[in-house]
Structure 1
Amino acid sequence: MRIRATVAALSGALAITALAVPAAHADEVEGDTAISNVVVNGGKAVVVGPTATKTITVSFTVKDASGVDWAQAILYHGANIDSSDSGAVANSSDHRATCTAVNATTSTCKSTFDMEPGYNLINKVAGSWKVWAIATGKDADYVQKDNAKSFSVQRASKLTVNASPEPVTKGKTITVTGKLSRANWETGAYAGYSAQPVKLQFRKNGSSTYTTLKTITSNSTGNLKTTTKATADGYFRYSFAGTSTTPAVSAGGDYVDVR
């Protein structure tokens, strides 16, 4: 069966920044084998810091009237697996999923994958990734999906805040500084995230709700600085809504005593 040879080739070793694969045909199906309910990382975005490898789980359901023989998933970044520029194969020795029978026709299949900064994660591959998947029945029926599920891989973000002076006289000017940064997978450190809109927010003492005072833009090194008037005791923070490559983050509130 041609598909078996394709999968064997796809299971080869990863290059440093690219998944070495031969031409993988687009979606194919023969017989009644079906893949459904694909879940990556519990349905949450995969957020990875600058150095630590993040291991994620991918699960999916396979059905075939004759019973499920085996299944496999591969993660990749790119328009399709043929032109992918990075990827990950499952951690199992044969790169196949572990499939557990639910009944005579249905199995739940799972694999774990390592997302490693500086290996299969470089800065340009942050964003949308896809799951390539195949499953076969005991009667040699099979299904192959080029994009069984899309998911997000993001560079971890950090945000700081400092409001001063403290204490301050009511009506006087408060200067609020901070920094927006995100993981750089190539240097193994956090670096400033420039030209991003960030909200300055205030929560009055005794309240549980932050109100946006203004929106400013991070500078070329990710730094933030603005001023506001002291009106009441409370907490100032910066809040970033996130992008496709970087998750949302809010700084912890910095309390200012207004007298």
Structure 2
Amino acid sequence: MRIRATVATVTAAALSAALAVTALAAPAAGAEQDDTPTQIKNIEVNQNRDYTVVVEAARKVKFPISALVHDPSGIKSVSFSLQHGATEAEVDGRIAQVGPSRCVKVDESWSKCEAVMIADPYTNVRSNALAGAWGINIVAVDGEGNVTREDYMPLARIKRKTHLSLADATPEPVKKGKNLTVKARMIVASWEKHKDVPLIGHQVLLQFRQGASGPFKTLKKVRTDRNGWATATVQATVDGQYRYDFAGTSLTQARSGLADFVDVK
């Protein structure tokens, strides 16, 4: 009987669960044992959207997680979970799959296994401190009841949703060579308050493009104030669009705001 854990972050609870599954799935006495390690690859979180899940302030988000799993004796079951914390001793958040995984055979020994997870600001992501990198834990049971556990730390990323308002350029219209003030507001989901709050002290880029098409060029770097507002003054030269752009962080979603077209007289 084989129980295999590939990272030293296996918990006592997880090991006990693995032992229980193994005991239930044990082959008959004298049966030939499969000692070939189960292989796991091609892990995808949220359909591989950069392994990132974005969560709003007061709304749960459902997302898929999947992997290709291989064993000569076949795959009986696979379970997924996410955990937040650099080491097992520092784990302060867990997200378990909802319901059983679904495994579909790709060929005689490989199966694609997928499960559904839910990140909920009212339950498993109740603190803003839980934004960032999450480890992925996978437990696979092969056709003979052998258990393999793989830990990937970190791989997934759960971020707070952001919103960047439409830029407001004043005065409009503006005379050529005169100053133009451009403002926009940045807010971010608070999983603790269950509402959007100002994103304070973060850098956003004031950008401009001539006319109504083509790439935007960065004019200035601005930091948001205590109310989330970004304000910058530029000299008006030609007609075009102004917007703010936020590159995002390891904890917050990237966002581009809508542009304001300015007519220069």
The TM-score by the shorter chain falls in which range?
Answer: 0.7 to 0.9
- Measure the CA separation in 1 of the matches of 2:153 and 2:66: 11
Partner SS, residue 91 of structure 1: strand
Cα deviation for residue 102 of structure 1 reads 2.1
**Which residue of the partner structure matches residue 252 of structure 2?**
246
- Give the root-mean-square deviation of aligned CA atoms: 2.1
Cα deviation for residue 148 of structure 1 reads 6.9
1:232 aligns with 2:238: yes
> Which range is displaced more, 240-249 or 79-88?
79-88
Cα deviation for residue 205 of structure 1 reads 0.8
1:48 aligns with 2:55: yes
**Which residue of the partner structure matches residue 114 of structure 1?**
118
Can you list the C-alpha shifts for 1:172-200, whole angstroms capped at 9, x where unaligned? 11111111111111111111111111111
**Which residue of the partner structure matches residue 154 of structure 1?**
159
Partner SS, residue 104 of structure 1: coil
- TM-score in terms of structure 2 length: 0.83
Native 8 Å contact 1:32 1:65 kept in 2: no
Cα deviation for residue 22 of structure 1 reads 4.5
**Which residue of the partner structure matches residue 222 of structure 1?**
228
Can you list the C-alpha shifts for 1:76-109, whole angstroms capped at 9, x where unaligned? 11124454211111110xxx42112223312111
Partner SS, residue 90 of structure 1: strand
- Code of the residue aligned with 2:45 in structure 1: it is V
- Tell me the matched-pair count: 237
Cα deviation for residue 70 of structure 1 reads 1.2
**Which residue of the partner structure matches residue 135 of structure 2?**
130
**Which residue of the partner structure matches residue 210 of structure 1?**
216
1:258 aligns with 2:264: yes
**Which residue of the partner structure matches residue 18 of structure 1?**
none
Native 8 Å contact 2:36 2:72 kept in 1: no
Native 8 Å contact 2:183 2:230 kept in 1: yes
Partner SS, residue 65 of structure 2: strand
Native 8 Å contact 1:38 1:149 kept in 2: no
1:143 aligns with 2:148: yes
- Measure the CA separation in 1 of the matches of 2:87 and 2:53: 20
Partner SS, residue 237 of structure 2: coil
Cα deviation for residue 51 of structure 1 reads 1.3
Native 8 Å contact 1:35 1:143 kept in 2: no
Of 197, 201, 224, which aligns to 2:203? 197
Cα deviation for residue 256 of structure 1 reads 0.9
> Which range is displaced more, 73-82 or 190-199?
73-82
- Measure the CA separation in 1 of the matches of 2:164 and 2:77: 45
Q: For the pair shown, which has the larger CA radius of gyration, 1 or 2?
A: 2
**Which residue of the partner structure matches residue 43 of structure 2?**
38
- Share of identical aligned residues, percent? 34
**Which residue of the partner structure matches residue 71 of structure 1?**
78
Native 8 Å contact 1:64 1:106 kept in 2: yes
Partner SS, residue 129 of structure 2: helix
Partner SS, residue 98 of structure 2: coil
- Measure the CA separation in 1 of the matches of 2:92 and 2:72: 36
Structure 2 residues without counterparts, runs of 5 or longer: 5-9, 16-34
Cα deviation for residue 56 of structure 1 reads 0.5
- Code of the residue aligned with 1:192 in structure 2: it is P
Structure 1 residues without counterparts, runs of 5 or longer: 5-9, 11-20
Partner SS, residue 201 of structure 1: strand
Native 8 Å contact 2:186 2:199 kept in 1: yes
Cα deviation for residue 48 of structure 1 reads 1.1
- Measure the CA separation in 1 of the matches of 2:88 and 2:82: 9
- Code of the residue aligned with 2:264 in structure 1: it is V
- TM-score in terms of structure 1 length: 0.85
Partner SS, residue 120 of structure 1: coil
